[in-house]
Chains A and B, each alone.
Chain A
């Protein structure tokens, strides 16, 4: 009988072995989805806008009316995102840390703005805040105009973006180690010192993430704003509304040009917020 050399087990190269299922397939589906749902539409948008040429692009996207619309969009969205992230921190804190009857109902209500057609929210808000509305008849004589004003835009943007700010912060507050707060108190820290020095650094990255999501949500919002803002050019017209009015004039290329500018603004703001968030997270870990 011939002696055969001892066979060594075949070595597999080029592939990390893992017991976790479906890495190859899920990676394929993920890239397909991202390409199909995000990259191709965005590419078409940019190509369409590019068909105008540089001068035509500027003429379409950088008119005084468009610039005013960007300012309203950005200003109202920033204001709404700031309010939402602060309010969201508060609501999340209350939902996690306070025991009170109806807490679970309140917790469920947080998601309602996500499920409700935002146009409905816009309609309800404008009904409430117009001069003869339930709230408006009190507020308008006091000089607070909640409908057909920039304030109204901010109001509905807070409504649509608040759930994001709450839901991002909530699990982080839940995971906070109460021992550290007790330790701070035992070391002599006051309540506010404990919050500012011990609690806040831990949840700030989540608050910033919540701000970013709220901002992104607010910048893209159309349905509710169109009903409450009155859509007055140079005053209460936001960029998405301007896009739609361009579309109604069959000026497709102009509409896409405005959309590209809006897209660029949102992207750059999200990048800034992301970098900030990562710095904070590194500091907090």
Chain B
């Protein structure tokens, strides 16, 4: 089942949650709606589910307009962040609920629930109450319950948001495998880029009610379309520099930027990812022009923080200016053995530049 969102807008009072959003989800896609809270991603998901109605625009399923179809008739599987299990019912009855209200014969219900319990690897827990399960198990029950009605599309609202880091990673790998097996069109909402990139075929980055960028995870990560996406993907050093003659300047260090060949200098935001900066100990007695042909920035190490396999080195340019980060594999950082206060030279390997819109040129 393919989904098409066509020019959907939605406001809650004065707050514009969605502003003319259009989106195609081809059959069998696993799509992530990624964005900060308030970006409208959950509202969009709820509109697709039929839990909210758009002020404007249409929702289509395989070319059929379903905008006015009630949630009850949409046949979507929906998984809530906080599971939304029926607390007074056993796991079995939770999963059976959708079939019970459809008055399915008991034998069919039993067979289907057993099949789903097996699918979500909870074979022997059918008689438990939700309160007796762990978070990961509860979310698997919620998923089985959503799948029990044989939905045409599967929608998940921050499905792993309430889980421990370890369970979260396991469960999303499992969900990816499950999706590959059953191939159902799936849309999930997340604010966690790692989750979106690991799980999804397609990532849609949302901000303030509109789509900033849509693409394969690699595309979005390597070619962020807007400053917002660059910022949101995080982990980036931002510098208010300038561009001129095919060069971008970062703390005075020129970096090739062929996209702007003009002689007239323009203010620009220069983005450098911490892992795309090379760091080396400044040669002893070396002046500020250390590094080949002045393409390196002399800087001072402020501190190092190790987060697992990556070590983040915070530096400050020697001539002053805002701090920035350099990421190194922890092994390499240990080998280098930098101490706070040491002089280093930084060489950028890659830079992204966003020019402000022309009307904002100073």
Contact = CB atoms under 8 A, between A and B. Distances in A.
Given A202-B87, A283-B88, A186 B82 contact: no
Interface stretch (B70-78, B118-126, B337-345, B347-355): B70-78
The interface size bin for chain B is 20 to 34
B84 A188 contact: no
Interface stretch (B95-103, B182-190, B259-267): B95-103
B46 to A, nearest CB: 9
B145 interface: yes
A201 interface: yes
Contacts of A190: 72, 101
Contact of A177 (B74, B78, B82, B131): B82
A186 B87 contact: no
A202 B98 contact: no
B84 A179 contact: yes
Which applies to chain A's interface (DSSP): helix, strand, loop or mixed? helix
B232 interface: no
B74 A184 contact: no
Interface in B61-77: 71-72, 74-77
Interface string B117-151: 00000000000010100000000001001101100
A65 to B, nearest CB: 47
Contact of B71 (A185, A197, A201): A185
Contacts of A187: 97-98, 101, 145-146, 148-149
Contacts of A183: 78, 80, 84, 86, 142, 145
Contacts of A184: 86, 97, 101
Contact of B72 (A188, A201, A202, A284): A188
The interface size bin for chain A is 20 to 34
Interface in A181-216: 182-190, 193, 197-198, 201-202
Contacts of B98: 187-188
Nearest to A284: B88
A189 B71 contact: no
A186 B71 contact: yes
A180 B84 contact: yes
Interface string B97-116: 11001100000000000000
Residue of B50, B87, B88, B129 with most chain A CB atoms under a 10 A cut-off: B88
Contacts of B71: 182, 185-186
Contacts of B50: 186
Nearest to B93: A197
Interface string A108-150: 0000000000000000000000000000000000000000000
Nearest to A204: B88
B49 interface: yes
A225 B77 CA distance: 56
A172 B230 CA distance: 45
B135 to A, nearest CB: 15
A81 B199 CA distance: 56
Contacts of B82: 177, 179
A285 interface: yes
Given A177-B84, A285-B131, A186 B101 contact: no
Contacts of A201: 88
A176 to B, nearest CB: 11
B85 interface: yes
Given A179-B80, A180-B87, A284-B88, 19 more contacts: A177-B82, A179-B84, A182-B51, A182-B80, A182-B84, A183-B80, A184-B86, A185-B51, A186-B77, A187-B97, A187-B101, A187-B145, A188-B75, A188-B98, A189-B72, A189-B101, A197-B86, A197-B97, A285-B87
22 contacts: A179-B80, A180-B87, A182-B71, A183-B78, A183-B80, A184-B86, A184-B97, A185-B71, A185-B72, A186-B49, A186-B50, A186-B51, A186-B78, A187-B149, A188-B72, A188-B101, A188-B102, A189-B97, A190-B72, A193-B101, A202-B88, A285-B88
Give the 8 A-B residue pairs with the shortest CB-CB distance, closest first. A179-B84, A187-B98, A201-B88, A183-B84, A189-B101, A284-B88, A179-B80, A186-B78
